[in-house]
């Protein structure tokens, strides 16, 4: 293996690729440098497992905290299961690469992205896609289509290529596009109600950058590329032809009838089983049968212009929904679209409930969380329930992105927000159903979102230069189709996009058509959502916590906390409220009981109150000296009533006027720069 180094500039920033020195046992490996980020990316292949009927691509994004100079938390001080962010990065790379492998390839392929150094200035996902492409391209693994990725932001109406985290914080959207020289392969985006024209323009710009990267890498890849290993695609054309003659018309009739998804699956299974019994063979003809089902379904759609359920290509299935279904929870929303149904449930909490993060990004906490569950009963299956997989995490993140931009700021609505989406029934695009049901649940909870958000999925069936895009695809249209283009947004613009394809690429014309038809579908769904609940409720549910905020001087934070947290713990225990203090002096008090909330708030105010000249207090005498009496004004502040300020006459002995424990009215005469307070009782007495 030749040791080599190659670099070029992308939008003024140098990117460097090195090969031939590290991880030489892998089929292909590359060390990528960009700014002070260093990623080692490897591609390795094994022989296919016996009986496997799918392509087992494995992508792992390994988060090692040494890359950012941190030691992991926990007892073991070692990284454990991958974070959600690492899983999302791996999924993004998988979604880019998977459609580019040849049909019928079933060898196990593992792509490992190992960040060795991270400078926390920019996202790593687009770099990982580019590096994975190079590792595959210089290996002997069958992969002959070059692909690149780029990140796009928009700041003050200016397009920014491969932005920093700081720039993304000020951007209207965050867009990542993977593409080849032929067209777009994958899209991931979130935005602040972005107009379709602007989003299309940004995707075009990203493809320009992708083509530039591919052009620059061409000589390096050609120099180091190896001959691809040969593989056998277990497919018999004669068997396929025989199956077509025997079963095509029967399958067409099933796909065209108006029965349910499960009924059609049973009918097709019965037709195939009957045919195989008559053949009297042990063979399953899995590949040939699957291709026949796909080809029959696709021909009905593309040639006969008929959708499986009889809908028009731009027509959405029947919609319905409801809110306030479940007691005790802080908000609930049910959304049904055809045979897809999602129930979303909202829980509100204090800042103490924020999710703490320990990843290779600058983000260290999350206020808003959306968790998506896809139980087996949603598709009529009986199998054990397991922890959320990569698909569940990815779908939840997509819905979370779609809603994040319409949530109120923490200053306006000081709550941690968690949504759990339970998919009760699935026949196509539960992630977009989650967006709709979560919108209803948020409004039911009284969260003052800026606007309702709806999501819809657009599919495509194509053959050479012919194609049709379809609105609101069902499961079978997703399974046998070429594209799943999910778009979420408000009546103003797009808040999230996720594109996955099964073809090698889609054209910019298809992208444009998908954005336009999704806009129409989004508007129809928003009408339904608004008809169920026009606006967020004006008040929270009875069981939701109440939160009040109070600003104190930063120099009083220590006073409120007390030694070892004794003071603030005491207030919490006495009142029953949860109290959190930010570094900027904002005190958040949360409780489900209004009385508890008010008790804690008054104690915080009293403890941190600024004493000013001329104010009048009622306080208890806490100690007596020869020269005067000390009176407690707040739990943390005493003032001195000098003996000369006790009465309108001369006082010989302080105890002739007041005793320890007496409650008296006093007026503040003055406050010295070092905080000493002088009081007068005499000033409040009649002459």
pLDDT confidence of residue 616: 92
Rounded CA separation 582/352 (Å)? 11
Is residue 47 situated within a structural domain? yes
String of b and e for 616-641 (b: at least 16 CB within 10 Å)? ebebebeebeeebbbbbbbeebbbbb
Q: What share of the chain is helix, strand, coil (3-state, %, to 5)?
A: 35, 30, 35
Q: Which H or E element spans position 524?
A: helix 508-532
**Same-domain status, 285 and 425:** no
Is residue 229 situated within a structural domain? no
What are the structure tokens assigned to 25, written together? 């046992």
Is residue 174 situated within a structural domain? no
Residue 147 · residue 178 · CB < 8 Å? yes
Is residue 463 situated within a structural domain? yes
Q: How many helices (H) and strands (E) does the chain have?
A: 14, 29
What are the structure tokens assigned to 62, written together? 């390994």
**Same-domain status, 84 and 218:** yes
Residue 468 · residue 374 · CB < 8 Å? no
Residue 510 · residue 465 · CB < 8 Å? no
Helices 430-445 and 508-532, axial angle in degrees (round to 10): 40
Its domain, for residue 105, covers 4-166+193-224
**Same-domain status, 292 and 369:** no
Phi/psi at 161 (5° precision): -90, 130
Q: Which H or E element spans position 243?
A: helix 237-256
Structural domain total, the chain: 5
Is residue 185 situated within a structural domain? no
**Same-domain status, 439 and 584:** no
CA 388 to chain centre: 14
Tell me which DSSP letter residue 504 carries: S
pLDDT beneath 70: ranges in the chain: 1, 280-282, 687
pLDDT confidence of residue 489: 98
Of the residues 275, 302, 329, which one is the last residue of a structural domain? 302
Helix (H, G, I), strand (E, B) or coil at 173: strand
Is residue 97 situated within a structural domain? yes
**Same-domain status, 455 and 482:** yes
For residue 459, give every residue at least 6 positions away whose Cβ sits within 8 Å of its Cβ, in sequence order, or none: 469, 470, 473, 477, 478, 481, 482, 483, 484, 485
What's the sign of the alpha-carbon dihedral 200, 206, 208, 211? negative
Of the residues 554, 579, 608, which one is the last residue of a structural domain? 608
Helix (H, G, I), strand (E, B) or coil at 15: strand
Helix (H, G, I), strand (E, B) or coil at 242: helix
String of b and e for 231-245 (b: at least 16 CB within 10 Å)? beeeeeeebbeebbe
pLDDT confidence of residue 37: 97
**Same-domain status, 373 and 517:** yes
**Same-domain status, 101 and 199:** yes
Strands (E) across 439-529 are located at 454-463, 466-471, 483-489, 494-501
Is residue 232 situated within a structural domain? no
Give ∠ CA 412-416-419 in degrees, rounded to 5: 115
- What would the pLDDT profile of 216-263 be if each residue is shown by its tens digit? 999 999 999 999 998 877 778 888 898 888 888 898 888 888 788 888
What's the sign of the alpha-carbon dihedral 159, 162, 164, 168? positive
Rounded CA separation 578/415 (Å)? 13
- What would the pLDDT profile of 625-675 be if each residue is shown by its tens digit? 999 999 998 877 899 999 999 998 899 999 999 999 999 999 999 999 888
Rounded CA separation 279/651 (Å)? 119
> The tokens 């490992």 sit on which residue?
112
**Same-domain status, 288 and 396:** no
Torsion region of 435: left, alpha or beta (phi above 0 gives left; psi -120 to 50 gives alpha): alpha
Residue 342 · residue 430 · CB < 8 Å? yes
CB atoms within 10 A of CB 352: 11
Is residue 506 situated within a structural domain? yes
Helix (H, G, I), strand (E, B) or coil at 680: strand
pLDDT confidence of residue 10: 94
Of the residues 501, 532, 563, which one is the last residue of a structural domain? 532
CA 272 to chain centre: 42
Helix (H, G, I), strand (E, B) or coil at 471: strand
Rounded CA separation 59/23 (Å)? 17
pLDDT confidence of residue 675: 82
Residue 664 CB-half CA count within 13 A:
28
DSSP letter for each residue of 245-269: HHHHHHHHHHHHS---HHHHHHHHH
Give ∠ CA 685-686-687 in degrees, rounded to 5: 115
What are the structure tokens assigned to 376, written together? 């087996």
pLDDT confidence of residue 511: 97
Instruction: Give the domain CATH number at 30.
Output: 3.30.230.70
**Same-domain status, 601 and 671:** no
Strands (E) across 84-165 are located at 108-117, 148-155, 158-161
Residue 684 CB-half CA count within 13 A:
16
Rounded CA separation 298/503 (Å)? 14
pLDDT confidence of residue 517: 97
Residue 352 · residue 577 · CB < 8 Å? no
DSSP letter for each residue of 315-362: -PPPEEEEE--SSSSSEEEEEEETTEEEEEEEEEE-GGGSEE--SSSS
Give ∠ CA 65-70-76 in degrees, rounded to 5: 75
**Same-domain status, 599 and 654:** no
Instruction: Give the domain CATH number at 649.
Output: 2.40.50.140
Rounded CA separation 419/431 (Å)? 13
**Same-domain status, 495 and 378:** yes
**Same-domain status, 161 and 41:** yes
Rounded CA separation 339/258 (Å)? 13
Cα Rg of the chain, angstroms: 33
């Amino acid at each position: 293996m030749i040791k080599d180094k190659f670099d070029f500039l992308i939008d003024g920033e140098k990117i460097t690729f090195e090969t031939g020195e590290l991880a030489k046992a892998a089929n292909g490996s590359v060390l990528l440098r960009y700014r002070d980020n260093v990623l080692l990316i490897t591609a390795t292949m094994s022989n296919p497992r016996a009986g496997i009927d799918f392509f087992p691509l494995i992508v792992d994004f390994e988060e090692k905290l040494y890359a950012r100079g941190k030691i992991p938390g926990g007892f073991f001080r070692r990284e454990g299961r991958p974070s959600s962010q690492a899983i999302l990065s791996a999924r993004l790379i998988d979604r880019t690469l998977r459609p580019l492998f040849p049909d019928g390839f079933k060898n196990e392929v593992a792509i490992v992205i190992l960040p060795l150094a991270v400078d926390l200035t920019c996202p790593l996902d687009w770099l990982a896609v580019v590096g994975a492409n190079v590792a595959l391209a210089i290996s002997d693994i069958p992969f002959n289509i070059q692909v690149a990725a780029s990140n796009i932001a928009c700041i003050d109406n200016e397009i920014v290529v491969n932005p920093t985290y700081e720039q993304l914080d000020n951007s209207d959207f965050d867009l990542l596009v993977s593409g080849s020289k032929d067209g777009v392969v994958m899209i991931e985006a979130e935005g602040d109600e972005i107009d379709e024209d602007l989003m299309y323009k940004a995707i075009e710009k990203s493809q320009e950058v992708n083509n530039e990267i591919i052009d620059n890498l061409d000589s390096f890849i050609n120099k180091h590329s190896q001959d691809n290993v040969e593989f056998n695609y277990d497919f018999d054309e004669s068997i396929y032809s025989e199956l077509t003659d025997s079963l095509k018309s029967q399958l067409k009739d099933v796909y065209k009838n108006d029965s349910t998804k499960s009924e059609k699956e049973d009918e097709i299974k019965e037709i195939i089983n009957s045919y195989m019994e008559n053949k009297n063979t042990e063979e399953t003809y899995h590949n040939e049968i699957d291709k026949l089902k796909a080809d029959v379904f696709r021909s009905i759609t593309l040639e006969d212009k008929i959708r499986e359920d009889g809908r028009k290509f731009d027509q959405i299935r029947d919609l319905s929904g409801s809110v306030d279904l479940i007691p005790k929870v802080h908000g609930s929303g049910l959304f049904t679209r055809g045979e897809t149904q999602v129930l979303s449930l909202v829980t509100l909490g204090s800042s103490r409930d924020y999710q703490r993060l320990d990843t290779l990004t600058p983000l260290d906490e999350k206020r808003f969380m959306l968790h998506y569950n896809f139980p087996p009963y949603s598709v009529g299956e009986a199998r054990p329930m397991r922890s959320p997989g990569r698909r569940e995490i990815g779908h939840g993140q997509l819905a979370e992105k779609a809603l994040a931009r319409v949530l109120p700021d923490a200053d306006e609505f000081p709550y941690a927000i968690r949504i759990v989406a339970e998919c009760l029934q699935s026949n196509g695009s539960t992630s977009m159903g989650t967006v709709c049901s979560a919108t209803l649940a948020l409004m039911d909870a009284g969260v003052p979102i800026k606007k309702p958000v709806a999501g819809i999925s657009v599919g495509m069936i194509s053959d050479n230069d012919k194609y049709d895009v379809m609105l609101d695809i069902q499961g079978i249209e997703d399974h046998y189709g070429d594209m799943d283009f999910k778009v979420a947004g408000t009546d103003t613009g797009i808040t999230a996009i996720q594109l996955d394809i099964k073809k090698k690429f889609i054209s910019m014309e298809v992208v444009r058509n998908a954005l336009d038809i999704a806009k129409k579908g989004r508007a129809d769904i928003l009408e339904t959502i608004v008809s169920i609940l026009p606006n967020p409720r004006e008040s929270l549910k009875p069981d939701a916590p109440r939160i009040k905020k109070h600003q104190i001087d930063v120099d009083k934070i220590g006073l409120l906390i007390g030694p070892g947290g004794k003071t603030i713990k005491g207030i919490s225990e006495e009142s029953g409220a949860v109290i959190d203090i930010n570094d900027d002096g904002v005190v958040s008090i949360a409780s489900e009981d209004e009385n508890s909330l008010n008790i804690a708030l008054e104690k915080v105010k009293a403890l941190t109150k600024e004493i000013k000249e001329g104010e009048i207090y009622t306080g208890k005498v806490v100690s007596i000296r020869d020269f005067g009496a000390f009176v407690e004004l707040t739990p943390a502040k005493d003032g001195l009533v000098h003996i000369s300020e006790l009465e309108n006459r001369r006082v010989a002995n302080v105890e002739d006027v007041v005793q320890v424990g007496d409650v008296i009215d006093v007026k503040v005469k003055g406050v010295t720069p070092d905080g000493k307070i002088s009081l007068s009782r005499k000033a409040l007495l009649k002459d």
